[in-house]
Structure 1
Amino acid sequence: MFSSSTTRAQCLRRAYPLSSRQLRQPWRFQPPRRHATATAIPMGAGGNTVHVEPTEYLSDIPESGFIDVKPNEGLLFYNIYPVFSAFLDSRFIPVRLDHLSSAEKLIKNSIPTDFPVKINQIIPRVKEGGAFVKFVKPANTTDREVEQRMRDSLEQKKIRPWYSPFGQVRCFLVEGRPWLEDLQRFPAARLKVEFEGPDVSPEELYTRFRRFGRLIDINPLPKDSKELPRYTYLTFWKIRSAASARNCLHDLKIKTADGKETQLRILYSRTVKAHTIRKWILDHPKIVLPIILAVIAAIAIAVFDPIRTFFIEAHITHSLDFGSKAWTWFKGAASTYLILNKKQGTDGSGDLSVLWEERKETVETVKSWLLESTETFIVVQGPRGSGKRDLVLGDVLKDWKYKLVFDCEPVQDGHGDAQIIRASAAQVGYKPVFGWLNSINSWVDLAVQGTLGTSAGLSETLETQFTKILQNTATALKNVALSQRQKTDKDISLNDDEWLEAHPEKRPVVVIDNFLHRTDNAGEKIYQRLSDWAALLVSANVAHVIFMTNDVSFSKQLARSLPDRVFRTVMLGDASPEAAKRYVLSHIHSGMTDEEKTKEIEELDSSIDQLGGRLTDLEFLARRIRTGEMPTQAVSEIVKTSANEILKLYFLGDPAKRSYTKEQAWTLIKMFGEGKEDQLRYNEVLLHGIFSKGGEEALQALEQAEFITIVSAEGRPWAIKPGKPVYRAAFKKLQSDKVLQAKLDIDVATELTKTETANVAKYETELTTLAQLPSKPSEIAGRVSYLLKKLQASQVKIEQYEKEVGALKKILQSEF
């Protein structure tokens, strides 16, 4: 025992020999895994100061771990510490020395001033959030009375623990024999009460345990269970209530209804929840999967979208094309010292200016449209090989700073969604692309749908992925346009949208090439998304949009996206004979003698008249002439190639994939061969018997396949021309093949015979109906005469077709 003059710090230093560093930082001090005890001087009615003499941890506690209580002594359990559970072990958050002092103060303050009680020991139970207080009962006072006086004092003084400014300290009388163990066991809200003796009823247990806190459930062991020892589970609302009950009632003896005694053994029973998180996730996929998808989408947007937008901007501005920049610099540096040969025609490319002389006005018109702020599309329409790409990219946009070309042909030629997405991404520079991820997600979706009956929504459709690419491209286009804005501009006060509207010359140009290249179901969805995206760019003044298409029905598709806008359209046709001749001569005159030039010019006029002004055909002619062929021979080979192309594209293959028949295509070839002009009357073609059913749909399909060209005037179709000028000569080449002509003429006659046979059957049916009338009224005589004449006319045609078929079969039998 220390003297009264000894300070508390000195007492603590002697009881706990700590280093100076541990005293300066007491939170680093970790006491042993045993509980400290402190002996106190009696506290009288006058509230004298208590001097606590610390001793060794558990030095006066037997090895059994039980607290020895004499007959005149009692135990109270105070809730003065936070409860530590398994995930918050008191070993890692040790009790500081000043906490022992604060516990002593709380207990001292809780004793009523008019109630003489002697405190012998304070035994902290930090793990279970409390401390045992051993007291000596005053004379003629029971343990229950001491407990009640202490609880009334705590309620009156509102004493709060150091760790909870809004909580309140409570105390309970210890009725059992608490076991002070230091095992790896932690408080839990669920208690396992084992019985040494007969079972205790739930009602009795409720009465004993309810005063420590609210009970949630009581689960006794079934009576037919053979498990020993018998037990009952009690679940409290709070862990602190369970810890207080366990420390106060452990080893308590209870008398049962039959007069026998049962001893209680109380243990913490932590609810076993193995793989709780995983089980909850598997049990609630409809909640978890959308959350996971949202997280993945957020990460993808936050991480990959800026990267993709950067690469698209680099694709537009060519900021990463180091090779291109180096070559540009080299040419600029070399031009100072070298005289570059700029003579045209030496490399076989020719001088395109001779071909575009007649299109200068068109070029200037399109350039002026790009400098206007009107929200509209620009459409350049013309047959394949008419020079649309060279006109737009070579002349109109030659000096435009930023442009983006989206070619629909490689996109539509892709097989499967993954190839289409990769091709689309390549057109705009969108990367990285995780095409394989959607395939995996499709398998996962299939598995989830087979298990839950509903799709998880992990996989994305082709339209969704394509729309994402276009959205990122729109963002990149706007960034590129705004990157040209300078702080020194006079209109710096304008916001971004106003500045873009005021500066059409700063907007990038998006060129959509081969629009409506293929019009199947998948292609139609892609074109609809593309036209909607283009409408958004134009309406928001983000970029100019130029469509280049071979399809004459482009207005139907674009009108869905911009129904209230007028399309500014440029129609490109074939070059005139004079321009075509100049273009070919610009290719072939290099390196030729005057005699050779004169001889080829004489044959060139008739060759170009037969070949027409299609640019691709003229280039093909020029290349063959440069290889040494004469113009007549070269044109003959071109016509032969075109005839083979027509035969392969329009007569062979699966007829189910075509919206026209080979008989209809052959009829047009024969009509072109019989006519003296280069075009046919539209309505005259429809009057032919082979076009009697679905004629207009067949003609539109043939035009879509570039077999013919339908010429419109004043809003209606009035003439039909060959799809290419060279096709006129190719048609004649096909007609010169007697075997081919005989075979196709037989097919045409057979189809016409079927049509007339169906007409005869229809006339006969009606005549039979009229003949079955009970009386023969005179009014039907005219109808009968009409039907008989129609029947006769059809019969005459059938006989004529059969004669033709017989003669044609003889050709097939005699010719190869």
Structure 2
Amino acid sequence: MIPGRLPLRPMAHPGLGLAATRTAKYRLPIILARTQNARRWETTKVDVEGDKTGHIDANPMESIIFFDNLFPLKLSSYFFWRPWKSQRDFPTVLKRFNTSTLGMFDPEALIKKAVPSDVPVDIIEIIPRTKEGGAYVKFRYPRYSSAADIHTKISESLEKYPIKPWFSPFRGISAGLVLGRPWLEDLYRLPKSRLRVEFVPAKDSEPPGELSQESLYNLFRRYGWIADITSQPPDSKVLPKYAYVDFVGVKDAVMARNCLHGFVVREEGSKVATRLRLSYEQRIKPHNIWNWISNHPRIVIPILAAFLAAFSVVVFDPIREFFVKAHVMKTLEITDSRFYKWLKSQTTDILSFGRHHDGDKGLHALFSHRKDLIDSIKRTLLETEDTFVVIHGPPGSGGRELVLDQVLEGRKKVLVLDCKKVVEARGEAGTIGKLAMEVGYRPVFSWTNNVSSLVDLAIQGTTGVKAGFSENLESQVTKILQTSASALKDVSLSSRKKTDNDAHLTDDAYLEAHPENRAVVVIDNFLHKTEGKTIIYDKVSEWAAALVESNIAHVIFLTTDTSYAKPLSKVLPDRVFNQVTLGDLSSDVAKHFVVSQLDNGPASEDKDDKADQGESPLPVKTDKQKRKDLQELDECIEALGGRLTDLQVLARRLKVGQSPKKAVSDIIDQSASDILRMFLLTATKTTGSGSGEGSEKKWSNEQAWHLIKSLATSESLKYSETILHNTFASSLTPGATNPEAALESLANAELITIKSQHGRPTIIRPGKPVYQAAFVRLLEDPVVKSRMDLAVLTELAKIEGKNIEKAEQELAVLAGLPNGPAQASGRVNYLLDKLETSQKKIEAFEKEMGGLKGVLGKEE
């Protein structure tokens, strides 16, 4: 049985003397003069060559008491690594810190004050322990007393008259009798509330005994409140055996460790003694929150995703709306600033070296011809109708210039969204980035969607639930357009003032009453490519419908596709669109346009450009020569057509000195070369317009040549008659077996134009007016004509061969019928006639093919 007060056991060890352990590194010598009424304070000489194990031994009639709370314990880790880290320097620093007013709080003075004057002891030395906030006091007592009695008197005195240092106003100094053999190590082991109690042999010849939790409690409870005692697991093979004692306070653990380290105890019923070896242990706190998070990913991950989404909305959405508004109002563009415009006006004459340029007179002539259309669109933007304005025309008809340069000239609240740049972007990240750039949406982290997709996939593979970190293309496009709509509403309301007569109206009512203040959204190249990116057009259409229905903005669509009504009717089924159709210019207007282009500045600029590119510039025509050339324009423009882009090319060629006939001939040759390269010499796979990247063509070279050959001799073809031709109806080319899909694909590639009447296709015409002449030019090339006719005849011969093969197979089946029934004779005769007809066609094809091969053999 362990007694209530454990007696002090002798700690002397042979060969470990007092002088040998008093080194300068472990203790602070304090030498005081003997006075008549004072106790004796003395120390011995330091032996630096002695044993440096760091243990303190006490001789007979000597003992040790540990006083805690003499130094600030929380600063021990800081001061331990400072230049005064030795146990001797830090108390000296504290002495210097204490002024005369605070001299009573000197650690030495506190120890002297803690020992009552009626206690018969002689203080031998004081050994500070700065990292543990206390000090060992070694003393000598008389024979008629004991160390336990002296400790009791000191503890009662401190309890009755508590001594509180300056850094601890609420907790006083306490004293504990050292029962073990203290070890004064200077390792970086800071005090902790958990003690690791190891059970080691008291003697080398005896095995140690393991103390029970009850014995440990009785032994350690006197030093403070114990939170828990944890014994070593029974199946653990770690030696020496150990147990954990967790104190509530760190200072209680410090007192227990300094008083019981090295203490030898024998548990009741045990025959062997055990020495306790104590050390501080970092308590591993259970990460309950993290464990719950890691064990419940199906709950935590959606919550985290929602938090990130909310954070993005709160932080980034206002920033993005600001940039969208700045993009629409062009407030951050230097070219729209007043300083830039003033600087440009002041330096134009200097930089142009005296040359003054008028505006683009050609475009002005065109706009004058279309003045009624421009005025009609302007009036629409002043009305309160919530509908679209759709401007449809073939490529190069000048729709973009008409809208941006004439209808919206001088308007600041304009947002232009070019669908061509968006749908031609590679990958989802590229599409999102281009769409954000078009509307001014920034910052945009399109690249993070790829990383989020990988994280989402990994979480789904481990938990079975999709985390939702990544967003698909549809959700991100919707988010960008919604933010843009919110910014556009602020832009439309930016001109509203509190002094207006209708300032009391709500935002929606104000926008409905003032259509002239609404922003204008121009959606260019709508339905540019419909394969693979239909989601973009669907979302843009829905977004545009929301803008016009909410009276946030006017929306103008610019498209070259004739099927625009289908997607727009889906989002606004009860509205009639304001449709404006732009056709080719008439001959008189086209001629006036070209002439006005020729008067638009001297031709020397283009001549200089040619010289810069390393080409020999053509001689500039004089005014007299130009007048003679103009007489040829009527015939040339009739062959060229009224397409605006072709007329601009003609005007540029005339400027550099070419005659109209030569310029038109070169344009026709270039168009014929483009048609030959894109439609007649292509492989089965294509990446051209009208088909997805790397996708299979929906038309064959033979079908394209049939149209070219037919349109070269006729201005138009009947749609129904064309799809019945064998080249379309019975094509053997993979992917081109559907005649209607083939014609639609060729129309999207701009080889032909399909005119509709009452919603159904009726007429097929060349894709551009100049293509009519280009088709004729291709027919005039004997090599191209012979080669393509040979390809068409070869395919037609294969088609007839297929028909013969089918007829022969059916005849073989009929021949196998028993007794040759008379009912099958009609079918047999029909198949024989069909076989004969196909055979005659093949013979005619082969005869014609022989002639074409002869032409190819002669021509180079």
1:659 paired to 2:698? yes
Q: 1:683 aligns with which of 712, 717, 720?
A: 720
1:266 deviates by 1.6
1:716 deviates by 0.8
1:805 deviates by 1.1
1:715 deviates by 1.2
Q: Output the amino acid matched with 1:186.
A: L
Cα deviation per residue 1:452-480 (whole Å; 9 max; x = unaligned)?
A: 99999999887787777656655543443
Please name the residue that 1:641 is paired with: 670
d(CA) in 2 for partners of 1:223, 1:546: 80
Please name the residue that 1:204 is paired with: 212
Q: Output the amino acid matched with 2:728.
A: F
Please name the residue that 1:400 is paired with: 411
Q: 2:591 aligns with which of 573, 581, 591?
A: 581
Contact 2:425 2:434 in 1 (8 A): yes
Relative distance call for 1:58 and 1:690 in structure 2 (3 A) is: farther
d(CA) in 1 for partners of 2:583, 2:632: 24
Please name the residue that 1:491 is paired with: 502
d(CA) in 1 for partners of 2:752, 2:412: 38
Cα deviation per residue 1:731-754 (whole Å; 9 max; x = unaligned)?
A: 111111122111101111111111
Report the more deviating stretch, 88-97 or 600-609: 88-97
d(CA) in 2 for partners of 1:599, 1:807: 46
Q: Give the match's secondary structure for 1:656.
A: coil
Cα deviation per residue 1:696-722 (whole Å; 9 max; x = unaligned)?
A: 000000000011111111111111111
d(CA) in 1 for partners of 2:167, 2:827: 111
1:268 paired to 2:286? no
d(CA) in 2 for partners of 1:707, 1:424: 29
Relative distance call for 1:119 and 1:430 in structure 2 (3 A) is: farther
Please name the residue that 1:191 is paired with: 196
Cα deviation per residue 1:502-540 (whole Å; 9 max; x = unaligned)?
A: 43322322223223334453x545545544554554455
Provide the identity percentage: 38
d(CA) in 1 for partners of 2:382, 2:556: 13
Q: 2:231 aligns with which of 218, 223, 231?
A: 218
Aligned residue pairs, count: 736
Please name the residue that 2:179 is paired with: 176
d(CA) in 1 for partners of 2:765, 2:74: 93
d(CA) in 2 for partners of 1:379, 1:220: 82
Q: Give the match's secondary structure for 1:352.
A: helix
Contact 1:174 1:247 in 2 (8 A): no
CA RMSD for the aligned pairs?
Answer: 6.3
1:750 paired to 2:763? no
Q: Output the amino acid matched with 1:689.
A: N
Contact 1:80 1:169 in 2 (8 A): no
Report the more deviating stretch, 746-755 or 594-603: 594-603
d(CA) in 2 for partners of 1:587, 1:572: 20
1:543 deviates by 3.1
Q: 2:810 aligns with which of 751, 756, 766?
A: 766
Q: 1:607 aligns with which of 619, 636, 643?
A: 636
Q: Output the amino acid matched with 1:176.
A: L
Contact 1:659 1:698 in 2 (8 A): yes
Report the more deviating stretch, 195-204 or 466-475: 466-475
Relative distance call for 1:427 and 1:58 in structure 2 (3 A) is: farther
Contact 1:576 1:613 in 2 (8 A): yes
Relative distance call for 1:288 and 1:674 in structure 2 (3 A) is: closer
Report the more deviating stretch, 317-326 or 573-582: 317-326
Contact 1:643 1:731 in 2 (8 A): yes
d(CA) in 2 for partners of 1:355, 1:426: 32
d(CA) in 1 for partners of 2:38, 2:747: 106
1:796 deviates by 2.4
1:494 deviates by 4.2
1:429 deviates by 5.0
Relative distance call for 1:248 and 1:798 in structure 2 (3 A) is: same
Contact 1:376 1:565 in 2 (8 A): yes
Please name the residue that 2:23 is paired with: none
Unaligned runs of 5+ in 1: 1-32, 38-52, 102-116, 137-141, 155-160, 336-340
TM-score, normalised with respect to structure 2: 0.67
Q: Output the amino acid matched with 2:680.
A: F
1:695 deviates by 0.5
Q: 1:708 aligns with which of 731, 735, 752?
A: 752
1:593 deviates by 10
Q: Output the amino acid matched with 1:713.
A: Q
Cα deviation per residue 1:267-292 (whole Å; 9 max; x = unaligned)?
A: 2133699xxxx999999999999979
d(CA) in 2 for partners of 1:595, 1:726: 28
1:365 paired to 2:376? yes
d(CA) in 1 for partners of 2:568, 2:199: 82
1:520-535 equivalences under 5 Å are: 520-521=531-532, 523-524=533-534, 526-528=536-538, 530-535=540-545
Q: Output the amino acid matched with 1:355.
A: L
Cα deviation per residue 1:232-267 (whole Å; 9 max; x = unaligned)?
A: 141527454644643564343222555232222322
d(CA) in 1 for partners of 2:545, 2:27: 78
Relative distance call for 1:511 and 1:119 in structure 2 (3 A) is: farther
Contact 1:312 1:428 in 2 (8 A): no
Q: Output the amino acid matched with 1:260.
A: V
1:445-456 equivalences under 5 Å are: none
Contact 2:305 2:467 in 1 (8 A): no
Relative distance call for 1:233 and 1:88 in structure 2 (3 A) is: farther
Q: Give the match's secondary structure for 2:361.
A: coil
1:618 paired to 2:647? yes
1:201 deviates by 4.8
Report the more deviating stretch, 605-614 or 318-327: 318-327
Relative distance call for 1:811 and 1:597 in structure 2 (3 A) is: same
Please name the residue that 2:319 is paired with: 306
Q: Output the amino acid matched with 1:772.
A: G
Relative distance call for 1:802 and 1:57 in structure 2 (3 A) is: farther
Q: 1:545 aligns with which of 539, 546, 555?
A: 555
Contact 2:182 2:261 in 1 (8 A): yes
d(CA) in 2 for partners of 1:426, 1:379: 24
Relative distance call for 1:56 and 1:377 in structure 2 (3 A) is: farther
1:297 deviates by 10
1:670 paired to 2:709? yes
TM-score, normalised with respect to structure 1: 0.70
Q: Give the match's secondary structure for 2:558.
A: strand
1:394 deviates by 1.7
d(CA) in 1 for partners of 2:506, 2:135: 70
d(CA) in 1 for partners of 2:513, 2:439: 26
Cα deviation per residue 1:556-607 (whole Å; 9 max; x = unaligned)?
A: 4556666676544322211223322332343347899998788656543333
Report the more deviating stretch, 249-258 or 290-299: 290-299
Q: 2:514 aligns with which of 496, 503, 508?
A: 503
Q: Give the match's secondary structure for 2:212.
A: helix
d(CA) in 2 for partners of 1:199, 1:232: 14
Relative distance call for 1:554 and 1:763 in structure 2 (3 A) is: same
Contact 1:77 1:247 in 2 (8 A): no
Relative distance call for 1:560 and 1:239 in structure 2 (3 A) is: farther
Q: Give the match's secondary structure for 2:584.
A: coil
Relative distance call for 1:81 and 1:597 in structure 2 (3 A) is: closer
d(CA) in 2 for partners of 1:164, 1:371: 80
Q: Give the match's secondary structure for 1:806.
A: helix
Q: Give the match's secondary structure for 1:712.
A: strand
Relative distance call for 1:285 and 1:787 in structure 2 (3 A) is: same
d(CA) in 1 for partners of 2:409, 2:345: 18
Cα deviation per residue 1:740-786 (whole Å; 9 max; x = unaligned)?
A: 11110111111111122112222222222222223544433333333
Q: 2:784 aligns with which of 724, 740, 744?
A: 740
d(CA) in 2 for partners of 1:811, 1:749: 15
1:317 paired to 2:354? no
